[in-house]
Structure 1
Amino acid sequence: MNGGGEADGANGGARGDEVGRADVGGAGEEYVARAFLTRVLEPGDEVGGRWLRELGAAEVARRVRDGRPQLAGVTDRRWAGLVARARDAEERRDLDIARAAGVRFVCPGDTEWPRQLDDLGDGRPLGLWVRGRPSLRMWALRSVAVVGARACTEYGSHMAATLSAGLAERGWVVVSGGAFGVDGAAHRGALGAGGATVAVLACGVDRPYPRGHTELFTRIAEQGLVIGELPPGEHPTASRFLVRNRVIAALTRGTVVVEAAHRSGSLVTARAARGLGRHTMGVPGPATSGLSGGVHELLRADAVLVTDAAEVVEVVGEMGDLAPVREGPVLPRDLLDPGARQVLAALPGRGAAQVPEIARGAQTTQDDTVARLYELRSLGYVERHGDGWKLTRQAVISVRAKRRRC
């Protein structure tokens, strides 16, 4: 995966440099205008998205920069705020800073643009600032989001890392938000398995947040991708974290929530995935754990319960990508002939029984019962006491184990 992805990613970066230097005309003007507007419009602004759809990025940028004529759908106060932002925006400087940091700007229409993001309609990103060499479009084609609580338990961290490592080993890209807790464990699990991972940030990708994950983001950028909607140097806010989650949901084939309380932001990702027609999955936790309460609500709705990577792939993969059938341990009695098992089951747990009684319980003839009893005796399951037959100690243990399994 890394070989072809790196070539595509490098081409995408080269195109960004070339178009970023274009001052006017065609794709270059639109490209620079979108880079400018990432500094002016907040991520997920559907009003701004409608402007771009109806007028094009270059015209929207011109009007916001000039301050007139005012575009429809916003109050005078909001328009004044956008115009003030536009005065401070320096898209050329942003593109230069990004280029120096090894970051490229990818926008709709580029060959590297993941087309599934278009499902967000007017709320799709104006563009994405991408750090890392692989092709975002190619990696997103076979990706799964793994998200969950920041203050996760050891169980949540273990499940996120194990599940992500399993996905990576199966050739899937793990996408998460780079936060502490489940997100970080998911990224590390994929990296540890030598796999691919993408961190979607709610800030500029040149100054990733949280700072405690600086080393992790460096590793992700070297082995995978760090992406975001905001231009260089931009800081995260609570609203930007929530809006960022729609990108994680849209980018991937499905979202797995490992641990989440009832008000967890990861549930926003799951709901966005469901609204976009993506698969939603949840890893169950203890019924008494508040950190699993949100996951259990998802499962009570229409999310699919998953416990490992094989089950996730069964949901998001191609036809035939089936998880192995789960079965308990094979007991010696499971290897008996069905007729012999029937006779064995007809013997009482305590005391002895005579052949007619055993035959009635096994729903067979007395002759067949006698033959089966001697067969079972040779295998150590029953013993004869006068005219009666009873279970041996070995058989009693086997029967109890069978009942526990049922």
Structure 2
Amino acid sequence: MNTQPSPPLSGSDQLADDPQLRGLLARLARSTDVGQEHANGMLARIAWSRIAEPGDGVAGELLAALGAEFALQLLIQGATPVQLRNSAAEGGVNLGTRAAESALGRWLPRVDRAETIRDIERGIEAGLRVILPDDESWPILLDDLGPHAPLLLWVRGDPAHLATPSLSVVGARAATGYGTHVTAEIVDGVCAAGFSIVSGAAYGIDAVAHRTALAAETPTVAVLAGGADRAYPQSHDGLLGKVSETGAVCAEMVPGAAPTRWRFLQRNRIIAALSSATLVTEAGVRSGTLNTAGHAAELGRSLGAVPGPVTSAASAGCHKLIREYGAALITNAREACELAGLGDGVEVLREGSNTVGETLSPARQPSRHGRVLDALPLRGSRTLLEIARLSGLSVGDVRTTLAELELLQAVTRRDAPGAAELKWALARSQ
């Protein structure tokens, strides 16, 4: 592979002096125009989002000390390891020659004008926008990551949701019925208390958290390991579309970028940083979810875990967090809200839901599922209020139960164009 830097991103000292390129950047920023200075910084960070892998602390320190534009120009001009080390030293960064050589070896092959322009065009085509650390819409909690903070975020949806009070909810991909139910119960209550939900859009607990928030008509944020335009898993394309309509889908990777194991692990630091607290509702002892919990602990965020049956391997990771890492034991939505800093005076939460054991009594859970399914017609669909009226359950209970049944593929949403209310129908013969 050619390790020589590509030609400059423009033919002058101004990185974004081309009017056409300025126009593309303005569209990506959702602005009628962007000033020359802002355009230069925006273009430089977009280029760096391709050049550096997520969590590259050397890149983070260098950009913080020298600025994204100057750091990029160093690469464009073919800086040697010694020159990079000296420039870093002038900015107050202690970078050894060997570390500088390693960094240039990682970065130089990715300095590519054509690919950077294509990243911008792909972002526009996918309806994405870019937010930078100095933008008003930037979630300042991410700054706690220091040099490992994202260089920018590509966002599908409303970036304002990234900065609203939220709870990060994560857990096992191979979720059990217990994990599914308790996640839906807790998330529904947290949403009722006014929090949004942050998760990673994976199978299992992540999907339950997002779908429950959607059913509660509460904004939810999905943080992806690849490009914000690339659904992973692919089967969650529809879910991510709904998330972006009322919340936000975000990523630090350029559009079209593939998720990798490293990027998944680095994605977890953003999930932990975006919220004041992280809750693990189900996780095995070797679960990657524990990586997110570790990031939350390092950031000083509140960490909670839901206990499970002592015989369940699927909850062994949660028990380890409680026993060895001081995670708060969380059994209901009220305690989850306390974890996130809302306090214990949440009147909006139902008093009857005190513990996981009470919420998940064997007689109650199948009964609610059966009553909701019985309220749905064999053909056609019904609204949330109609189902509540026919089942004799509260709207809140029906909403939570529908989220669980949707995950179990027992019911499906019917979105009719122009319809005033969402309707639900049986997904298969019951």
Read off the aligned partner of 2:60 and give its amino acid letter. Answer: G
Spell out the pairing of 1:147-166 with structure 2 (5 A cutoff): 147-166=170-189
Residue in 2 aligned with 1:358?
Answer: none
Aligned residue among 123, 132, 140 for 2:148:
123
Deviation at 1:33, TM superposition (A): 0.5
Pair 40,165 (structure 1): closer, same or farther in 2 beyond 3 Å: same
1-side partners of 2:190 and 2:227: how far apart?
A: 28
1: distance between equivalents of 2:287 and 2:47?
32
Please point out which of 235, 260, 270 is paired with 2:293: 270
Q: Which amino acid aligns with 1:242?
A: L
Task: Quote the residue 2:280 is aligned against.
Answer: 257
Is the Cα–Cα contact under 8 Å of residues 20 and 28 in structure 1 kept in the other structure? no
Aligned residue for 1:93?
118
Give, in angstroms, the shift of residue 64 of structure 1.
2.0
1:314 pairs with one of 297, 313, 338? 338
Amino acid at match of 1:52: L
Query: CA distance change for structure 1 residues 141 and 219 in 2, over 3 Å: closer, same or farther?
Result: closer
How much has 1:29 moved relative to structure 2? 1.1
**TM-score, normalising length from structure 2?**
0.68
C-alpha distance 167-319 of structure 1, shift in aligned 2 (>3 A) = closer
User: Deviations along 1:117-167, whole A, 9 cap, x unmatched?
Assistant: 100000000000000035134xx3310000001111111112222221221
Q: Superposition pairs for residues 278-289 of structure 1, below 5 Å?
A: 278-289=301-312
CA displacement at 1:321 relative to structure 2: 3.2
Deviates most, 211-220 or 86-95: 86-95
Alignment match, 2:29: 16
Q: What residue is the counterpart of 1:83 in the other structure?
A: 108
Query: Deviation per CA, 1:47-87, whole angstroms, max 9, x where unpaired?
Result: 11010011100011112233314333435355234111113
- Which stretch shows the higher mean deviation, 72-81 or 287-296? 72-81
Distance 2:180 2:308 in 1: 12
Question: Quick one: distance in 2 between partners of 1:214 and 1:175?
Answer: 17
TM-aligned CA distance change 1:19 to 1:90, over 3 Å: farther
CA–CA separation in structure 2 for the residues paired with 1:136 and 1:86: 32
Partners of 1:20 and 1:156 lie apart in 2 by 48
| Separation in structure 1 between the aligned mates of residue 274 and residue 231 of structure 2, nearest angstrom | 20
1:170 aligns with 2:170: no
Q: TM-score, normalised by structure 1?
A: 0.72
| Matches of 1:236 and 1:84, distance apart in 2 | 19
> Matches of 1:77 and 1:52 in 2, distance apart?
17
Cα distance per residue 1:248-282 (max 9 Å; x no partner):
11110100001111221111111111111111000
Q: Which runs of 5+ in 2 are unaligned?
A: 1-24, 86-94, 359-430
Distance in structure 2 (CA, Å) of the matches to 1:20 and 1:75: 37
2:233 to 198, 202, 210: 210
Distance 1:17 1:96 in 2: 14
Which residue of structure 2 lines up, in the alignment, with residue 52 of structure 1? Answer: 63
Aligned to 1:237: 260
Number of residue-to-residue matches in the alignment? 314
Q: Residue in 2 aligned with 1:37?
A: 48
1:253 and 1:18 map into 2 onto residues whose CA distance is 31
- Asked if the contact 2:191/2:218 (under 8 Å) is kept, the reply is yes
Deviation at 1:88, TM superposition (A): 6.2
Whether 2:90 is the aligned partner of 1:66: answer no
SS at match of 2:282: coil
Residue type at the aligned position of 1:298: L
**Partner-residue secondary structure (3-state), 2:300:** coil
Alignment correspondent of 2:138: 113
In the TM superposition, residue 288 of structure 1 has moved relative to its aligned partner by 1.2
Please say if residues 105 and 127 of structure 1, whose CA atoms lie closer than 8 Å, have aligned partners that are also in contact. yes
| Native 8 Å contact 2:161 2:219 kept in 1 | no
